[in-house]
Structure 1
């Protein structure tokens, strides 16, 4: 059942309610990419009978990334070089109407007087298999964390994350389209917003969507804030949404950086950052959560399934 009466809480208040994992997570090991980092991964997924992960591959001192598909042997993930690579950040993947939908964030640069980032867009590819992914849509300027899911009636749910709406940092929007072909930049911009999930100086976004048995949507995401010393804090969170009525459960933190082994950070302000990549639901109300950590590494952890109580 969905508890509909709740109040918006700060990250710090949610952390007081959070029970850390009894067993720490583990680091994923990657090879075959030189000294580049692999982070902000998807959860593992099966493609043509083989297990894959898509990951963000990047030099430590750069923001210019490529998405690479990896396969696993003896607990080491290595690139599948016969599959396409994409000059994108932060991959996400799902299936809609029997096709793969792959997304990532494309950066745009100004070359003068020096090469610098001026903005970004979420871009989407689709195909019957990973070899045949073609570009099908781009999101609005400077919007990350656009996610799609197929609903139980065959329609398409869209999650958005616009910046700066009525003084907020970033909020989550949601709308329903009759089909994937209706997806457009305008449709994403017009997605009605949830204005009660985050305080105005905090923000969050959807990272992966799970269609539950009752037609509700289990949303894996992140909730974030910047402290007085300009340090970023990103935590994994979840909530459940009834897509027909827009009723939703309260945001709940399900993992923090301290649940995983210590490791390097890309910058000093990214020490306390995990970015939800995906969730594999398992029997016995358990789930395995995959995250990027401090913009340098990828980890996984076994946790209580955050969605089972709502099915």
Structure 2
């Protein structure tokens, strides 16, 4: 992926490029979560390692509600069950990374809107610890901002991907800033982060979901790009691009999967059927990667794709 000044392509154009590319998408699999009652598990992250076990964080939620919990699941007997002794966080859309040897876990917190009675507001919150057993909250992002993601840079500083909306970001655009350390995170740093150029067409939006430090010091970003159609239905696609922190330049984003390459399944609402929310990538040495994703706000699946950062 070469970096250059970009003109944004629409979701329709990006989807046409993806379909024309013959991109690999194989072995779709529904992840069998259990012991959550009648609730759905969706918008999962890729597995993290804790005490030698693979653990999947997932958003657990009733079909008719937006109030959710993040539960940590471990595989047992072919099913993924809530991990005994792990915390349960009142968050949506979990993510994780490691910085300075610490496990960082985050998600979206919803709370009553301070100026609009009956409405909800949201923000991204972060926990850190040596593992799941001692996670402690340490930072809350700006009100109204989802999809803040962190990555440890080659020089030891912390890269911060942001997603402002409104006057600065419209429906949602990606920004980037650097912090000297986790303790250097501030609301001002996040709110002032410059936007990346040329990523989203007018009226469309997106965000970062996971960041990978590549061997050459660049950052591979897994994210999503989204739009409405004429009927008002939402369309979300997993995408990826490469970012150069030193020069604040990025490659053109590319769609890396779509709803039809996953298994059929339920949707939370009719307007959410064509929604794939990128959760994380497990990159493999054979040039492939396993993409973990939330499907239609009601399901969680994974499938094998070509690693979008292979060779970088």
| TM-score, normalised via structure 1 length | 0.95
In the alignment, the residues of structure 2 paired with residue 170 and residue 191 of structure 1 have an alpha-carbon distance, to the nearest angstrom, of 13
Unaligned runs of 5+ in 2: none
Rounded Cα–Cα distance in structure 1 between residues aligned with 2:143 and 2:251: 29
Q: 1:129 aligns with which of 128, 131, 150?
A: 131
Equivalents in 1 of 2:188, 2:122: separation in Å? 17
Instruction: Summarize deviations over 1:217-242 as a string: whole Å, max 9, x none.
Output: 00000000011101000000000001
Aligned partners of 1:50 and 1:21: how far apart in 2?
Answer: 29
- Structure 1 residues 171 and 192: alpha-carbon distance in aligned structure 2, compared to 1, 3 A threshold: same
Instruction: Name the residue aligned to 1:244.
Output: 246
Map 1:57-76 → 2, pairs under 5 A: 57-76=60-79
Question: In the TM superposition, what whole-angstrom CA distance separates every residue of 1:227-271 from its partner, at most 9, and x where no partner exists?
Answer: 110100000000000111112110100011111011110011100
Is structure 2 residue 292 aligned with structure 1 residue 294? no
Alignment deviations for residues 125-163 of structure 1 (CA, whole Å, 9 cap, x no partner): 111111111110101111000000100110000000000
**What CA distance in whole angstroms lies between the structure 1 residues aligned with 2:195 and 2:113?**
31
Match of 1:106 in 2: 109
Distance in 2, matches of 1:72 and 1:166, equals 42
Match of 1:219?
Answer: 221
Change (3 A) 1:72 1:253: same
Q: Counterparts of 1:177 and 1:109 in 2: how far apart (Å)?
A: 30
2:286 corresponds to 1:280? no
Partners in 1 of 2:188 and 2:169 — Cα distance? 22
Secondary structure in structure 1 of the residue aligned to 2:84: coil
Q: Could you tell me how far apart the structure 2 residues matched to 1:130 and 1:3 are?
A: 37
CA RMSD of aligned residues (A): 1.8
Deviations 1:97-141 (A, max 9, x none): 111111010111269x98x44210111111111111111010111
- SS of alignment partner, residue 123 of structure 2: strand
Alignment of 1:93-242 (within 5 A): 93-109=96-112, 116-165=118-167, 168-242=170-244
Query: Which stretch of the first structure deviates more once superposed, 152-161 or 163-172?
Result: 163-172
* Cα distance in 1 for residues equivalent to 2:251 and 2:55: 31
Aligned partners of 1:39, 1:166: CA distance in 2, in Å? 29
**Residues 107 and 117, structure 1, Cα contact 8 Å, conserved in 2:** no
Contact 2:25/2:303 (8 A) holds in 1? no
Contact 2:25 2:306 in 1 (8 A): no
Hey, what's the Cα distance between the residues in 1 that align with 2:210 and 2:96?
Answer: 8
CA 1:29–1:269: 2 relative to 1, 3 Å: same
TM-score (norm 2): 0.95
**How do residues 77-88 of structure 1 correspond to structure 2 at under 5 angstroms?**
77-88=80-91
Return the alpha-carbon distance in structure 2 between the equivalents of residues 118 and 126 of structure 1: 26
Aligned residues: 309
C-alpha contact (below 8 Å) 2:9/2:200 kept by paired residues? yes
